[in-house]
């Protein structure tokens, strides 16, 4: 399946080719497995930190762990620019043999990510909707299918697409502040989470919790999110980074090769489903989002946000 | 797939055509979405209450919520007549734009519904078995696939088909009386729950709980039913209607259109499976129920019930 | 699908033919259902006890319950010989109408089974790997698809293939000793649990717990195993046999025919998946295990075990 020309062009300008989901099939060669008793292999390409406009990436080569910080105020919304930078950054790390794991967190107080940028879905051209949706798909395919260990350090609220981002990681740690909430609340906005958001959610919380939560568009406060399994544990804000590092170390203690093949086995069916229906999913998004009733709902929602702000 | 001629005829006499599962496909038009900020649309057809022999329906047009009360003593068993009335009543509400949600409850003390009427499965003709089974399928297809919000207010025991009826709703509230039990106990009678009973059950409690409960034919007392997720909450009997109304209001706060598309996305695979194998499922039922060993088991079970009663 | 010639030959020498998964399709005749009110049918073939080198089987004809004890010190590892004896013993019971249920337990202190015998996977010929893997498949197909009630009385640790053996039963009771652990820890050894280990695991603990546990190669101490649903209950060691007998009696109270058809309905999809891909799965195993990197890992692991022992 060809990548979207526009996204490809944007990414090509950065010298990084977009990868589809990266998990290897059974038995195919993956990144070098160091094995539990071997010394870590030397990094092939030195890389300390790189920063785009909206994302800061720091790689600790001694541990093989990168930190990806979202710094796109006010709410780290997933705009086309943000998504493009995200995919480029993740791809760089994926291709860097010195990097075995990534921790995702926010540099903006109180918010992890507010989800898809509504301005990208409102009053734009069909071509723009297609380009935007392909970038959303690409973000998920790369992240859910990453060969690296991925840990979400959720230090703020994380609705809709922000929740998807966390759900696509291997492990989720959330700050135990009950004011922070997380969930796929699309229904509240009059829109519908696509099937692959749903598949990712069902894989984590099971069918019943997903059905109820998606229909009600629920945002779950941190303690409830833990109870329903949306996140794996809660910690005090000041312990978040330390905890994320400890969890990462636990996952990196496993041989990469076996862990990656196992991850692929668990996620392949759901990844393959989007890959097989990618163009259809884009067309569905375009025809849904182009409806006048949906456009009206989104405009009203944005008005409400503006009033709330001022 | 054509509806059973006999059921169609029965229902056609009532002037209502049987609908297959009603949930719209992604992006297809559903009932008018009022949107969170729009005034509710005017009802197209006024409708306060209608009653058949076995079911009483009351619609509150101001809230858009109907109450469907089962009044078929002694145990609200799902006879062919009951199922036919059920499908007609639900269809009427489904087609009434003034109705957005239905609460199901019992007008018979201590029992929600005892499940499929065994007399319909014992000593009857092949044609009768086919007509009966098609009506059971139709009840599930309409209810599990309803566009409306469906809440079961379970005010009594609910074994077998009665349990399926509750499981097919969006939400289940049960009276917290430990003498009331619920479960798919078919195996206790020497019969087997069909695959779509099982699929509905697995979607709610997961594979492991379903496997154990179905093999043992377990009836779960209310507190255990809550623990296993068969019901969503327990309340005191005198608070049941109030609680059901509050839950309904919470679900109706969402825009209909987004909620319906989400519900369809969650349930479509399981609904489609029966639609694709409907005639085969009827033939399986007929050949299973016609076995002399099964007929003998059912006769013995009915004898036991009669003795218990007298 | 033809049985492996080598396994067939081994088993044929014992006069028992290997059966594929035995659960009957809907409506097919199963073992005679005694029905809840009928006297138990007379045993067709008297059988008290038989013992091979590695497994002891005792059948109590009055209750219809067999006890299968693993007695292959030091750790009941699943060697080709053990697996062959296991399949023969299970097949004998499956074909004995006097036997309706089997309890599996260990005669070796502190260990239920250590899982697949690594010496069978290290430095052997391609033909040997194929024969061994076919025997592992056969064990699972027979046990997961058994018509009998199967209860695991887990009186010791049970990693990897030992865990699979327990997971394939209808019910798991574990001694509440926190030093005993259970889990599919293949990833710790640098290898990957095959898809049907994974499917069995997911059916019991759900997708999320399985994904995390498999990637980390976790061994769960008894209390955690209970919390995650890997086992159904914990008891004191001295109560284990009594508890297993009580659970067995509860399951045997159900009519065999209905229980068997229900079990088949729950497990058929997963059993069919291996049957459909059996040869491919063998080829995958051979090519994976033959890799020099994997052989090296296994050799190192065996060295470590030897040092630990001495």
Q: Is B116 among the residues known to form the active site? A: yes
Strands (E), chain B: 49-51, 55-60, 65-70, 77-78, 101-106, 115-116, 149-154, 158-159, 171-175, 181-183, 220-221, 233-235
Best of A133, A184, A190 to disrupt the B interface (most B CBs within 10 Å) is A190
Number of CB pairs, chain A paired with chain C, less than 8 A apart: 72
Neighboring chains of A (3 or more beta-carbon pairs < 8 A) = B, C
The pLDDT-based confidence of C48 (bands split at 50, 70, 90) is: low
The pLDDT-based confidence of B306 (bands split at 50, 70, 90) is: confident
Q: Is C186 among the residues known to form the active site? A: yes
Tokens of residue C240, six digits = 């284990």
CB contact under 8 A, B206 and C206: yes
- Find, in chain C, the residue whose alpha carbon is nearest to that of A26: C284
- Find, in chain C, the residue whose alpha carbon is nearest to that of B190: C258
What pLDDT score does A48 carry? Answer: 64
CB-based contact C61:C48 (threshold 8 Å): yes
Query: B288-297 long-range contacts, Cβ below 8 Å, gap at least 24?
Result: B288/B191, B288/B192, B288/C26, B288/C27, B289/B121, B289/B129, B289/B191, B290/B126, B290/B129, B293/B190, B293/C33, B293/C35, B293/C257, B294/B190, B294/B191, B295/B122, B295/B123, B296/C35, B297/B189, B297/B190, B297/B191, B297/C35, B297/C255
What pLDDT score does A13 carry? Answer: 39
Average pLDDT, chain B: 88
Q: What is the pLDDT of residues B250-295, one digit of tens each?
A: 999 999 999 999 999 999 999 999 999 999 999 999 999 999 999 9
- Find, in chain A, the residue whose alpha carbon is nearest to that of C297: A35
* CA B139 to centroid of chain Cα atoms: 6
Instruction: Name the percent of chain A in helix, strand, coil, to the closest 5.
Output: 50, 15, 35
ipTM: 0.86
Q: Is A161 among the residues known to form the active site? A: yes
Residues whose CB is less than 8 angstroms from the CB of residue B304 and which lie 6 or more positions away in sequence, other chains included: none
Strand B220-221 to C65-70 pairing: unpaired
Tokens of residue A270, six digits = 């759901």
Shortest Cα–Cα distance, A252 to chain C (Å): 9
- Please state which of the ranges A276-280, B66-70, B245-249, C3-7 shows the lowest mean pLDDT: C3-7
CB contact under 8 A, C258 and B210: no
One of A116, A214, A230, A274 is an active-site residue; which one? A116
Which residues from C are below 8 Å from A255, CB to CB? Answer: 187, 190, 297
One of B94, B131, B138, B186 is an active-site residue; which one? B186
- Find, in chain A, the residue whose alpha carbon is nearest to that of B172: A212
CB contact under 8 A, A208 and B202: no
One of C185, C214, C261, C298 is an active-site residue; which one? C185
C-alpha triplet B206, B210, B211: angle, nearest 5° = 120
Q: What is the pLDDT of residues C108-129, one digit of tens each?
A: 999 999 999 999 999 999 999 9
What pLDDT score does B48 carry? Answer: 64
CB contact under 8 A, C187 and A255: yes
Checking if the pLDDT of A144 tops 90, the result is yes
Q: Which CA distances in Å does B208 have to B140, B287, C219?
A: 23, 29, 20
Checking if the pLDDT of B164 tops 60, the result is yes
Tokens of residue B282, six digits = 């009827």
Among C208, C215, C300, the residue with its CB nearest the CB of A262 is C215
The C-alpha atoms of residue B79 and residue B54 are separated, in whole angstroms, by 10
Shortest Cα–Cα distance, C99 to chain A (Å): 37
Checking if the pLDDT of B199 tops 90, the result is yes
Tokens of residue C219, six digits = 């061994």
Checking if the pLDDT of B68 tops 80, the result is yes
Best of B129, B192, B227, B287 to disrupt the C interface (most C CBs within 10 Å) is B192
Q: What is the pLDDT of residues A114-124, one digit of tens each?
A: 999 999 999 99
Among B26, B35, B266, the residue with its CB nearest the CB of A284 is B26
Give me the mean pLDDT over the C4-28 stretch. 40
Q: Is B161 among the residues known to form the active site? A: yes
CB contact under 8 A, A217 and B258: yes
Q: What is the pLDDT of residues C188-204, one digit of tens each?
A: 989 999 999 999 999 99
Neighboring chains of B (3 or more beta-carbon pairs < 8 A) = A, C
Give the helix/strand (H/E) hosting B251.
helix B240-252
Give me the mean pLDDT over the A293-308 stretch. 88
Give the helix/strand (H/E) hosting C87.
helix C80-94
Rg (CA), chain A: 19
Among C192, C212, C300, the residue with its CB nearest the CB of A37 is C300
pLDDT above 90 coverage of chain A, percent:
79
Which residues from B are below 8 Å from A186, CB to CB? Answer: 258
Which residues from C are below 8 Å from A262, CB to CB? Answer: 187, 192-193, 214-215
Checking if the pLDDT of B79 tops 70, the result is yes
CB-based contact A95:A66 (threshold 8 Å): no
Among C257, C265, C267, the residue with its CB nearest the CB of B190 is C257
- Whole-prediction pTM value? 0.88
Shortest Cα–Cα distance, B146 to chain C (Å): 26
Among the listed residues B95, B87, B40, the one whose alpha carbon sits nearest the alpha carbon of residue B63:
B40
Of B227 and A51, the structure prediction assigns the larger pLDDT to: B227
CB contact under 8 A, B284 and C36: no
Among the listed residues A217, A221, A231, the one whose alpha carbon sits nearest the alpha carbon of residue A179:
A221
Rg (CA), chain C: 19
- Find, in chain A, the residue whose alpha carbon is nearest to that of B28: A288
Of C306 and C4, the structure prediction assigns the larger pLDDT to: C306
One of C64, C101, C115, C161 is an active-site residue; which one? C161
C-alpha triplet B137, B143, B148: angle, nearest 5° = 160
What pLDDT score does A307 carry? Answer: 87
Which residues from B are below 8 Å from A217, CB to CB? Answer: 254, 258
Shortest Cα–Cα distance, B199 to chain C (Å): 10
Q: What is the pLDDT of residues A156-185, one digit of tens each?
A: 999 999 999 999 999 999 999 999 999 999
Which residues from C are below 8 Å from B195, CB to CB? Answer: 265
Cβ-based interface (< 8 Å): residues of B facing A: 26-27, 33, 35-37, 170-171, 202-206, 229, 232, 250-251, 254-255, 257-259, 261-263, 265-267
> What letter does residue B261 receive in the DSSP assignment?
H
CB contact under 8 A, A297 and B266: no
3-state secondary structure of C75: coil
Checking if the pLDDT of A16 tops 60, the result is no
Of C35 and B228, the structure prediction assigns the larger pLDDT to: B228
- Please state which of the ranges A257-261, B61-65, C6-10, C177-181 shows the lowest mean pLDDT: C6-10
CB contact under 8 A, C187 and A251: no
Of B8 and C297, the structure prediction assigns the larger pLDDT to: C297
One of C23, C80, C93, C116 is an active-site residue; which one? C116
Which residues from C are below 8 Å from B215, CB to CB? Answer: 170, 251, 254, 259, 262-263, 266
Checking if the pLDDT of B4 tops 70, the result is no
């Amino acid at each position: 399946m060809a990548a979207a020309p526009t996204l490809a062009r944007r990414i090509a300008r950065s010298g990084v080719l977009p990868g589809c989901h990266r998990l290897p099939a059974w038995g195919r060669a993956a990144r070098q497995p160091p094995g539990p008793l071997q010394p870590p292999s030397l990094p092939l390409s030195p890389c300390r930190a790189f920063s785009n406009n909206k994302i800061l990436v720091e790689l600790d080569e001694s541990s093989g762990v990168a930190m990806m910080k979202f710094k796109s105020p006010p709410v780290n919304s997933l705009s086309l620019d943000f998504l493009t930078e995200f995919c480029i950054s993740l791809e760089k790390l994926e291709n860097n043999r010195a990097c075995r794991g990534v921790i995702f967190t926010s540099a903006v107080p109180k918010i992890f990510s507010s989800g898809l940028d509504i301005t990208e879905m409102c009053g734009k051209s069909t071509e723009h909707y297609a380009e935007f949706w392909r970038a959303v798909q690409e973000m998920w395919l790369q992240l859910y299918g990453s060969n690296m260990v991925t840990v979400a350090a959720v230090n703020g609220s994380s609705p809709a697409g922000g929740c998807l981002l966390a759900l696509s990681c291997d492990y989720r740690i959330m700050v135990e502040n009950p004011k922070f909430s997380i969930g796929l609340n699309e229904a509240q906005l009059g829109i519908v989470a696509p099937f692959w958001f749903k598949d990712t959610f069902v894989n984590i919380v099971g069918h019943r919790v997903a059905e109820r939560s998606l229909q009600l568009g629920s945002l779950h406060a941190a303690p409830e999110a833990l109870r329903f399994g949306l996140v794996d544990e809660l910690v005090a804000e000041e312990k978040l980074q330390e905890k994320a590092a400890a969890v990462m170390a636990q996952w990196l203690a496993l041989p990469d090769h076996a862990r990656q093949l196992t991850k692929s086995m668990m996620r392949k069916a759901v990844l393959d489903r989007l890959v097989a229906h990618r163009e259809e999913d884009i067309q569905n998004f375009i025809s849904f989002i182009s409806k006048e009733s949906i456009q009206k709902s989104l405009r009203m929602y944005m008005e409400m946000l503006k009033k709330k702000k001022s």
